[in-house]
Copies of this chain bind each other. A is one copy, B any other.
Amino acid sequence: VSGASSDLIELDPTWAVGDRPHGGYLLRLLAAAAVDESHPHPFAVSAHYLASPTGGPADVTVERLRTGRRVTSSRVRLEQDGVHRVEVLVTAGRHEAAPEPYWTAPGSAPPELPAWADCPRAPAVRADGVPIGFLDHVDMRLDPATAGYASGSPSGAGVVRGWLGRADGADVTALDLLVLADALPPVTFDLGMYGWVPTVELTVLVRGLPAPGPLRAEQRSSLLADGWLDEDCLLWDSTGRLVAQARQLAGYRLPS
């Protein structure tokens, strides 16, 4: 480990889910602290969420674990009030602008979605009044077929999908993919379970630089058992290229 560097930063309270910072926002912030000019793009980012922080001052510490020619690896930790909140490992490198894929699995094409304009933008407040502040920053437009939960009619299929972009209209960067890979509502909503789904671990692979335009996103789960579920989220850019793969382990509670 070559010397640690610490910074006092400010967690933006508007990037929230309820009254807590959004997990993808934290991931982008911590990964951004680990990249450098020669290795500007996160390739693999693994976060273990230890304790939820709040908006306001926090300490970010970066330790470079290895500097290679092709990739670098770093350890980043977020502390607040002397409590370790999030620990992240970041392997970063440089993606080519738009390489021709060497091979793409037959089943990995993006999902078909209704047109962007036909998917209403998700509001930054839930029907039950809970504020979802990060949706002021992220323009999320769910496929109405998977948005039934919002009106009490979940499909039961255990899938959510839709369009994602930046609300300010700027192009999505490689670092932004870390936010968007954790932006769709929990798959549990589509199963009629509306409780919190706290993430314990989240790993995102950034597979390429997104072309301009909104991204297509789909999130699924394989198994809910023993209080734990996986969520798998894939992101495709406007040209149909797979640009991010995310998987998380999260807790769930059964509806009472």
A interface, CB within 8 angstroms of B: 1, 43-44, 46, 48, 50-51, 65-66, 70-71, 73, 75, 84, 87, 89, 91, 95-96, 99-105, 108, 158, 191, 200-201, 203, 205, 207-208, 220-226, 228, 230, 234, 242, 245, 247, 249, 251-252, 254
Query: What are the residues of chain B within 8 A of A108 when measuring CB–CB?
Result: 222-223
**22 CB < 8 A contacts A-B:** A43-B249, A44-B48, A44-B200, A46-B89, A48-B73, A50-B65, A50-B66, A66-B84, A75-B75, A75-B87, A87-B89, A91-B201, A102-B252, A103-B158, A104-B222, A105-B220, A203-B203, A205-B247, A207-B223, A207-B228, A208-B225, A222-B245
Given A200-B71, A203-B203, A230-B245; A103-B223 close (CB under 8 Å): yes
Chain A at the B interface: mostly helix, strand, loop or mixed? strand
Cβ-defined contact, A101 with B225, below 8 A: yes
- Copies per assembly: 2
Cβ-defined contact, B222 with A242, below 8 A: yes
Contact of A66 (CB < 8 Å), options: B51, B101, B103: B51
Cβ-defined contact, B50 with A95, below 8 A: no
- Further contacts, 13 of them, CB under 8 A, given A104-B222, A222-B245: A43-B249, A44-B201, A51-B66, A75-B87, A87-B89, A91-B201, A100-B225, A102-B224, A102-B254, A103-B158, A105-B158, A105-B223, A207-B228
The smallest C-beta distance from A190 to any residue of chain B, in angstroms, reads 11
In the bound complex, how far is the Cα of B221 from the Cα of A209, in angstroms?
19
